[in-house]
Amino acid sequence: MALTLDDPNYHFLKVTAGALATFGMYSVLYKETKIYRFFEHMFLGLAAGLSLTLLWTQTLYDLWWGPLVGRTADKATEYGQNGAWAWVLVLPLAALAYTIFSKKHNWMSRIPIGLLIGIGAGQAIQNWFNQYGPQIENSIKPAIPTVWSRFTVPDRNGLPQAALDNVNNNVYGSQAINNLIFLVTLLCVLSYFIFCTEFKSKLTKGMSTAGRLMLMVGFGAIFGTTVMTRFALLIDRMYFVWIEWLLESLPRMLHR
């Protein structure tokens, strides 16, 4: 069979299918129609099929089947690997989870599940500091200027390395103030997340209110940055439909 995956006819078929799928799914923006329902169910089916395929090809084959049966070296550069029979015990263990469908034995499903929960919890505790320690350290910024001669940070570009290091190493007045603002913001927001005391004093009340407002600033900024990605993807979809399918792929088909 000489036909290859980049054959124009086949490619057109594929692109057309994609375009139809696009419009089919978009139809839901108007209302939930039979067309959408069709594509939705197809999507769910494909996804399920894909997951099952990947379950073997990307997880079990490498992580389970490989160690279980081992392999004889195929490359001159490496040793073979022996099979470890104990891996087969995973099967009955996992099977326990499926007792959930039985009224009588469903408690057994809690053994593998419990094990997984335990492992997850353990890992969470194990990684906790590695994950958040750096963030804590990162929030510690010097707030006393080391230079009083000037307030703002000098223009960095075009400076020789030594001078640049000096600038980077110093703390200028403006930076000190920013670092203080950073700290205050951090504390305010943290105080908003204190649940078990009623804030009575003006200060603490003010702090937690300010904290909530600061959160809104953060959220607004995130919103702004995320909008770009979302719109870019929509534009790409439209490009796919209008340009790649309608203006490029279709004419190429017709001119053959």
Partner 1 sequence: MQYYDTGFWQIVFVAVLIVFLLFNIIRARRGKSLFIRRIAGLSAIDEAIGRSTEMGRPVLMVPGLSGLGPVGIQAVNIFAYIARTAAKFGTPIRICFADAALYSVAQEIIRDVYQSEGFADRYDPTAVRFISDRQFAFAAGVAGMILREKIAAAFLLGDWFAESLILAESANSVGAIQVAGSTVTTQTPFLIAACDYVLIGDEFYAASAYLSREPVLVGSLVGQDWSKLLIAAIIVVLMVQASIEKALVPQTTQETQEGPGLIWTSKPIPARLKKRSDLLENRLFNPRPPAALSPREKRKLNAWEKDSDQ
Partner 2 sequence: MRELAQLAPPTTVWTAHNGSTLLWVEIVAALILGILLAMGLSRLPIRLRKPIVAVVTFAGGLYFVLQYIWPQAQDYSKDEIPRGTVEGVSFWLQGTLPTVTNFAQVLGALLLGLGISSLLRIHISQLVKKHKDWLFSLTLIVSMLAMLVFGYWDWLSKLGPGAEQAVAANPHIFPNFARDFLFDGLFINLDAVMYSMIAFFIFSAAYRSFRLRSIEATILLGTALLVMLTLMGGVLVGWDRVVDAVGGGGGGHAGFLENFRLGAIKDWVQDNLQSPSIRAMEFGLAIGGLAMSLRLWLGIEKGVSN
Partner 3 sequence: MADSTPEARPSLGAKLQALNRNALYLSLFAVVSGSLILTHLTSLQVPAQPQPCTKDTYTLLRNIPAGDTIIIDTGATNSTRGENGGEMEAVFRIAMRERLRFVLYTWQEPQCIEIAKGVIAKINLERRTSNPPEPEYREWDDYVILGFFPDGGTMLQTVASNIRDAWAAKKEKDPAGRERSVFESPVLKNIHRVEDIRAYVNIAMSNLMPTIVARVGRKLPVISMITGVMFPEQLNYYKSGQLKGLINGLVGTVELETLMEKGIDAKGEVGGHAPGPPVAAAFPGEKNYARGMDYYFAFCCAMSLLIVAIVIGNVGMMLERRRKP
Residues 174-233 that bind partner 3 (CB under 8 A): 221-222, 225-229, 231-233
Is 44 a binding residue for partner 3 by CB under 8 A? The answer is no
Question: Per-residue DSSP letters for 99-131?
Answer: GGGSTTTGGGGHHHHHHHHHHHHHHHHHHHHHH
- State which residue, 11 or 40, has the beta carbon closest to partner 1: 40
Q: Minimal distance in Å, beta carbon 47 to partner 3?
A: 13
Quote the crossing angle between the two packed helices 90-97 and 110-138, to the nearest 10°.
90
Residue among 25 and 253 whose Cβ is closer to partner 1:
25
Q: Look at the block and give the residue holding tokens 């490498």.
A: 62
Q: Is 52 helix (H, G, I), strand (E, B) or coil?
A: helix
Note the residues at the interface with partner 1 (CB under 8 A). Answer: 25, 28, 31-32, 36-37, 39-40, 43-44, 46-48, 50-51, 97, 100, 106, 109-110, 113, 116-117, 120-121, 124-125, 128-129, 133-134, 136-137, 139-146, 169-171, 179, 183, 186-187, 190, 193-198, 215, 219-220, 222-223, 226, 230
21 contact partners, CB below 8 Å, separation of at least 6: 39
The Cβ-side half-sphere exposure at 93, using a 13 Å CA radius, reads 11
Q: Name the residue with tokens 């067309």.
A: 35
Does residue 157 interact with partner 3 by CB under 8 A?
A: yes
* Contact of 71 with 81, CB cutoff 8 Å: yes
| 93 binds, options partner 1, partner 2, partner 3, none, Cβ within 5 to 8 A by partner type | partner 2
Among 75, 104, 200, 256, binds partner 3 (CB under 8 A): 75
Choice between 20 and 96, CB closer to partner 3: 20
Q: How far apart are CA 114 and CA 124, in angstroms?
A: 15
Can you tell me the distance from the alpha carbon of 210 to that of 181, in angstroms, rounded to the nearest whole number?
12
Q: Which does 163 bind (CB under 5 to 8 A by kind): partner 3, partner 2, partner 1, none?
A: none
- Residue 142 CB, nearest approach to partner 3 (Å): 15
Task: DSSP letter for 146, please.
Answer: S
Binding site for partner 3 (CB under 8 A): 26, 29-30, 58, 62, 75, 77-78, 138, 157-158, 221-222, 225-229, 231-239, 242-243, 247
